[in-house]
Structure 1
C-alpha cells in the first residue's frame, strides 16, 4: 500500500475552500450541524462516514447544488451561491451560480453522460457550449483528456458501448475539460462492479499526484489512506474526527470512528 503524501499542501497558503458554521435542513431534519472545514490548494480531503451522515450533502453545498441554511462557504475567496450585504446573505441568480460552477468540477455516483453523444462529444459539450472555446481547440483538449484517463481509443463510442468504469472515467475527463480549480467526487466508485473500481481510482490518484485540489466522498479506505492529505470522519451531521490518514484511519481517537473503520475494513 502506498503511503499518504508526506508534503503538506497547507504550508504557507490560504485555504481554497473555507466552510464556517455550515448548516442544512431538509424539513425538520438537520443534516449539517455547523460544519467548519478548510481545504487548501493541492490538498486531497476524503470524507468518510456512514450513510446519512451528511457527506454528500456537504459536497453538494460546496457548488450550491444544495442551498445552505446557515454559515458561509467560500471557494478561492468568493462566497458560493450568495452575496453578502450588510451582514445578510442574498442568493445569487442562476447565471451567477453557473459562472461559479465553471471552476468547480463534480463527479457523481451515476455518470450522467449524454446518451446520444459520443465520449468526445460529452467532453467538449461544456467547453464549447458554455465556455465558448473554439471547437477545434476543445477537440484537441478532449483527446488529451481521453489519453489522460486511458480511453483515447474510445472517443467515438457512445455511453451504451462503454463499461461503467469507462463511463466514469469519461465523466472525470468531462469535468476536467472546464479546467476547474477544485474537483468534487461523490462516491465515484459506488455504482461500479468491483473489478472496474481500480481504473477509476488510478485516474483519481494521478490527479492527486498532479496537485489537483479534491474533496472525495468515499468508502474506499485504501484510496483514502494512500491519496488523502486529510481524512474527515462525519456522523450525524458533524465532524467527529479529522486529520492525517495515518491517525484517523489507523489510530482513530473516537469510538464512532473506530467502529466505522472496523466495519468497512
Structure 2
C-alpha cells in the first residue's frame, strides 16, 4: 500500500434526513491500494456514507476528500462554495460504484452496459473502449455473455457485469454498497471471487458488506459502524477475532 496521502479522507462527516441523524461525525481514511470493509447493522449509516463520498447525497457538515480534492465544494478565499453539477460529475469520474441491485440498463447488452460510460461520458474512442470492455468481461469470466441482455443473465452474472462497468472508467476508487445482499446464496460466491481478485490486484476499495468471510480474507482493515458513528476500526484479525467494544461483539455473534 502507498504511504502517500489517503485516496479517501472523511473528516467529521454529518448527515441527517429531517430529524433522523444518520451520520454523526465520521472520520475514515483509506490509503491507495487499501481494501476497507465496513460492517454494521441496518440503519447504521454505512450506505449513506458511501453515497456521500460519491456525492449522491450531500453532507450537512464536515468534509470528504478523494485524491486530495474536496468533494462537492470549492474553497474560494476563506469561504466554501457548492460546486455546480457539471463539476460534481467531473469529480465522480474518478470513482466507480457497484450497487446492491446491479442497476444495469435493461435495453443494453452486457458489452453495451460496460462501454456506455467510457464512450458517452469520458469520450473514449469507441473501438478502444470496446476492446477494453471485452477484456474486462474476459477478466470476470463473462466474455461469452457479451451480447446477452440483463434479463438473460443470472443475478451473480449481472453483478459481475456491474463490476466490469464500474472498472471501465478506470477509477481511482471503487465503492461497493452491499454487492451480494440481493443475490441468492448460491450466487454470492462468484461475485466475492471477482472482488477478491480485484483486491489482490491492488485496487483501492471501500466495501459495505455483511460478508464476514470477505472481510476476513481480503480486507486490510475492518470498520464497524453503529448508530452513525465508527465504533471500531482495525485489522481484520483484531476486529473480528478480538473486538474491543461490546456492540461489535454483539453484532459479530450473529455470524458465529
Under a length normalisation based on structure 1, what TM-score does the superposition of the two structures give? 0.95
Are residues 1:19 and 2:10 paired?
yes
1:240 aligns with 2:226: no
1:214 is matched with 205
Pairing of 1:94-113 with structure 2 (within 5 A): 94-113=85-104
Q: Work out which of the residue numbers 37, 45, 59 in structure 1 matches 2:28.
A: 37
Residue segments in structure 2 that go unaligned for 5+ positions in a row? none
Counterpart of 2:173? 182
Q: Is the 8 A contact 1:63 1:81 kept in 2?
A: no
Does the 8 A contact of 1:219 with 1:264 survive in 2? no
- CA RMSD of the aligned region, Å? 0.8
Cα distance in 2 for partners of 1:27, 1:188 equals 28
CA distance in 2, matches of 1:125, 1:148: 18
CA contact (8 A) 2:5 2:68 kept: no
Shift of 1:81: 1.0
Q: Secondary structure at the match of 1:60?
A: helix
**What aligned pairs does 1:4-153 form with structure 2 within 5 A after superposition?**
9=1, 12-153=3-144
Superposed CA offset, 1:173-202 (max 9, x none): 001000000000000000000000001001
Q: State the 1:86 CA deviation.
A: 4.0
Question: 2-side partners of 1:162 and 1:194: how far apart?
Answer: 16
Question: Shift of residue 14 of structure 1?
Answer: 1.6
Q: What is the total number of aligned residue pairs between the two structures? A: 256
Q: Where does structure 1 lack aligned partners over 5 or more consecutive residues? A: 1-8
SS of the residue corresponding to residue 241 of structure 2 reads coil
Structure 2 residue 219 is the aligned partner of structure 1 residue 231: no
Mapped partners of 1:174, 1:16: distance in 2: 21
Runs of 4+ in 1 over 4 A off after TM superposition: none
Q: Determine if the alignment matches structure 1 residue 261 to structure 2 residue 252.
A: yes
Residues of 2 paired with 1:25 and 1:85: CA distance? 26
Q: Distance in 1 between matches of 2:96 and 2:78?
A: 29
Q: Distance in 1 between matches of 2:56 and 2:255?
A: 29
Q: 2:73–2:83: 8 Å Cα contact kept in structure 1?
A: yes
State the SS of the aligned residue for 1:191: coil
Contact 2:156 2:183 in 1 (8 A): yes
Q: What is the aligned partner in structure 2 of residue 167 from structure 1?
A: 158
